[in-house]
Structure 1
Amino acid sequence: MTYATVMVSLALDQPNQARLQVAGELAERYEATLVGVAAARFAPPLYFTDGAEAQRLIDQEEASVKRCLGDLEAEFRAATRTRGGRVEWRCATDFPTRFVPAQARCADIIVSGGQSPAFSDAFSLASPRDLVMQVGRPLLVVPDRINWLDLRSVLVAWKDTPEARRAVADALPMLRKARDVTIVEIPERDDDRSVVMAGVTDVAAWLARHGITATARVCEGDRNETAAAQLEKVAGDVDAGLIVAGAYGHSRFRELILGGVTQYLVTQTARSVLLSH
């Protein structure tokens, strides 16, 4: 398995340099086609006028959106000018969370920026929390402060769920490039530790059959800490440059309202994250 097509989702009024850098690295590393994609729509004001004035405002704002999309294309072209391989650009005046998932059919992996904890504009930004649920492809979330894809140490945040199994399989090309791979599970309060360790060891053995040496580990952190806090400590311990995880192993409603590992992963700023759902 490899990545033959890497797609990078760009956003209006957001820094795009980090995701462009990492997407370009991925495309070069796997000799893949690099596809840039962006979409935005005119966001109507809360207080609207009518008649000719309304049409003038609509035309003016739609033209502004098209200019911004043109600027994003220019940014994409400039960032990929010195890279080898094939590049494509796709954009539309549409909702990003509708257009980007539709284009994902042509890609093996989608690169996105991180998610600010603040409210995001659905007219101009495809949130990674939404994308991971819709694209049907692994999503590589790249925080704005990241300037390269660090695969020296990769942490697999394991939970015996379909999402986590899919994430590890989707990450195989990157895991093969990693110097160190650690698989960690954070047990629930009532979990049998021996059963948990057996599961993590199974995953390590499966990776070994793919030529990947991995260390199996069960977290021994404070049970009073959240799973996200414990995962952050382990990531710091192993100096992880990338975390691989299944997205929304619990219900999405529970994670969005109460917080959870996925919410932490898309808002933290220290390392890239590969998510699958």
Structure 2
Amino acid sequence: MDYKTVMVSLALDQPNDACLAVAGDIAERFEARIVGIAASDLRAPLYFAEGEYAQKLLDQEAEAIRKRLSELEAEFRSSVQKRVKSVEWRSAQALPSNYVVQQARAADVLVVGAREEAVVDLSVAADPNDLLMRAGRPLIVVPSTVQWLDLRSVLVAWKDVKEARRAIFDALPILAVAKEVAIAEIPEEGAYRADALSHVEDVAAWLLRHGIVASTVVPEATAEVTGQLDWIAANVGAGMVIAGAYGHSRLREWILGGVTRHLTTESSRCSFLSH
């Protein structure tokens, strides 16, 4: 199984170099088609604006959006046109997250830049957390400091739940080309380490039947999970962490678990996430 179509979501309000580099690496490695996508929507006029003046403001903003989307298309094509054979651009005046979620039907995997801020301006950029829960496709979240897709070592952050099983299955093409793969489970408080060892050994055996050799890591002592995960990732030299994305909806807002939130906003390495 390979990725045939990679979709990269560009933001209007921050640099896109990192996610374009990683998306290009994936598309080139798997000889995949690449689709660039971006959207932005009008903000409501200022409360004191009305009538013709309000319409003028909206028209000016719509023109600015068209110009910025055109600039992003040129940036996208310049970045990838020499790396892959099939290139497509999609854009619209629309809420970015909603537009990307709709268009995700055309992709095998989505690439998006990480967002460090607590609140994302939903009119100019897709929220990675929202995409995770709604797109129905695996998401590769790329920190702004990343310059290329480093697959010399990949870490699978295992938890014996359906989201992790989905993530490792979706990531099989990545795992197949990685030079080294490690599977880590961090036992929860009150859990037996022997159970965690059994879980990761099963997963390693399953990967081996797909031709992928993986080592296993289970810490002796239970500690803060995100800190342990970062320590293990650094210890194995991981350029990417593969994990299930956990969360639930409350009043139409996705509330993510601590590890998922850390991987989408604070990690220094790429994260491959499925829900």
Structure 2: 5+ residue runs without aligned partners?
A: none
Are the equivalent residues in 1 in contact too, given 2:33–2:84 (CA < 8 A)? Answer: no
Query: 1:154-175: CA deviations, max 9, x gaps?
Result: 0000001111001000111010
Provide the residue aligned with 2:28 in structure 1.
Answer: 28
- Which structure 1 residue ranges, 4+ long, deviate > 6 Å from structure 2? 255-258
- Tell me the distance in 1 between the aligned counterparts of 2:87 and 2:157: 32
TM-score, with structure 2 as normaliser: 0.95
Residue 243 (1) aligns with residue 258 (2)? no
Aligned pairs (5 A) from 1:131-142: 131-142=131-142
2:273 aligns to what SS in structure 1?
strand
Return closer, same or farther for 1:232/1:159 CA change in 2, 3 Å cut-off: same
- Say how many residue pairs are matched: 273
Provide the residue aligned with 2:262 in structure 1.
Answer: 264
TM-score, with structure 1 as normaliser: 0.94
2:52 aligns to what SS in structure 1?
helix
Are the equivalent residues in 2 in contact too, given 1:256–1:263 (CA < 8 A)? Answer: no
- Tell me the distance in 1 between the aligned counterparts of 2:254 and 2:60: 36
Return closer, same or farther for 1:258/1:161 CA change in 2, 3 Å cut-off: closer
Query: 1:161-204: CA deviations, max 9, x gaps?
Result: 11100100011101011111000001110112211111110000
- Tell me the distance in 2 between the aligned counterparts of 1:38 and 1:83: 20
Of all paired residues, the percent bearing the same amino acid is 52
AA in 2 matched with 1:227? V
Provide the residue aligned with 1:202 in structure 2.
Answer: 202
Are the equivalent residues in 1 in contact too, given 2:187–2:218 (CA < 8 A)? Answer: yes
Query: 1:86-105: CA deviations, max 9, x gaps?
Result: 00000000001110011110
- Tell me the distance in 2 between the aligned counterparts of 1:6 and 1:257: 27
- Tell me the distance in 2 between the aligned counterparts of 1:40 and 1:199: 44
Provide the residue aligned with 2:110 in structure 1.
Answer: 110
Are the equivalent residues in 2 in contact too, given 1:145–1:269 (CA < 8 A)? Answer: no
Q: Over aligned residues, Cα RMSD in angstroms?
A: 1.6
Structure 1: 5+ residue runs without aligned partners?
A: none
Residue 48 of structure 1, CA deviation = 3.7
